[in-house]
Chain A
Amino acid sequence: MELSSAPIPPLGPEDHVRGEGEPIVVYADLGCPHCAAAWLEISSRPAAIAFRHFPVASKHPRSPALHAAAEAAGMQGTFFAMVDSLYADRAHVDDPHLWERVERLGLELGRFDEDRRSAAVAARVRRDFESGIRAGVTGTPAVFDLQCRGDA
Chain B
Amino acid sequence: MIAAGEPAPDFTLRDQDGKEVSLSDFKGRKVLLVFYPMDFSPACSDQLSIYQEVKPEIAEKGVEMLGISVDHPYAHKAFQEKLGVDTTLLADFEPKGAVSKAYGSYLDGLGFANRTLVLIDEDGTVAWAHESPSLGEIPGANLIFDALAA
Binding site for B on A (CB under 8 A): 1-6, 56-59, 61, 129, 133-139
By the criterion CB–CB under 8 Å, are B83 and A3 in contact?
no
Which residue among B45, B139, B145, B148 has the maximum number of chain A CB atoms within 10 Å of its CB?
Answer: B145
A133 CA to B53 CA in the complex, in Å?
A: 10
When A1-B57, A2-B145, A56-B50 are in contact, do A133 and B85 touch as well, CB less than 8 Å?
A: no
By the criterion CB–CB under 8 Å, are A56 and B57 in contact?
no
By the criterion CB–CB under 8 Å, are B141 and A3 in contact?
yes
By the criterion CB–CB under 8 Å, are A58 and B85 in contact?
yes
Residue of B nearest to A61 (CB): B84
By the criterion CB–CB under 8 Å, are A133 and B49 in contact?
no
A2 CA to B60 CA in the complex, in Å?
A: 11
Q: Is the interface of A mostly helix, strand, loop or mixed?
A: loop
Binding site for A on B (CB under 8 A): 43, 45-47, 49-50, 52-54, 57, 60, 83-85, 138-143, 145-146, 148-149
A135 CA to B146 CA in the complex, in Å?
A: 12
A6 CA to B145 CA in the complex, in Å?
A: 11
Q: Is the interface of B mostly helix, strand, loop or mixed?
A: helix
By the criterion CB–CB under 8 Å, are B142 and A4 in contact?
yes
Looking at the complex, which one of A1, A6, A59, A129 makes contact with B49 (CB distance below 8 Å)? A59
Which residue among A57, A58, A133 has the maximum number of chain B CB atoms within 10 Å of its CB?
Answer: A58
- Find chain B residues with CB under 8 A from A133 CB: 50, 53-54, 140-142
- Find chain B residues with CB under 8 A from A135 CB: 140, 142
When A3-B54, A133-B142 are in contact, do A59 and B83 touch as well, CB less than 8 Å?
A: yes
- Find chain A residues with CB under 8 A from B54 CB: 3, 133
- Find chain A residues with CB under 8 A from B149 CB: 2, 4
- Taking the closest CB of chain B, its distance from the CB of A136, in whole angstroms, is 3
By the criterion CB–CB under 8 Å, are A4 and B145 in contact?
yes
A139 CA to B52 CA in the complex, in Å?
A: 13
Q: Which 4 A-B pairs have the closest CB atoms?
A: A136-B140, A138-B138, A58-B52, A4-B145
By the criterion CB–CB under 8 Å, are A4 and B84 in contact?
no
